[in-house]
Amino acid sequence: MVRTSDNPTERIDSRSPEATRYPRAAATSATASLVDGIQTLTSSAHAGQEMQKQISEIIVRAGNELSLRSTAALQATVEADLGHLQALAAAKTPSQLFELQSKFARERLELAFGHARDFQAIASKFLIDINKSLRGVFDTSSLASE
Ordered per-residue pLDDT tens for the chain, 146 residues: 555 566 666 665 555 566 556 666 666 776 777 777 677 767 777 777 887 888 888 888 888 888 998 899 899 889 989 999 999 899 899 999 999 999 999 999 998 898 889 888 888 888 888 888 878 777 766 665 55
Alpha-carbon gap, residue 55 to 30, rounded angstroms: 37
Task: Supply the pLDDT for residue 63.
Answer: 86
Please state whether the predicted TM-score (pTM) of the whole model is above 0.75: no
Strand (E) or helix (H) holding 39: helix 17-90
CB 88, CB 122: distance < 8 Å: no
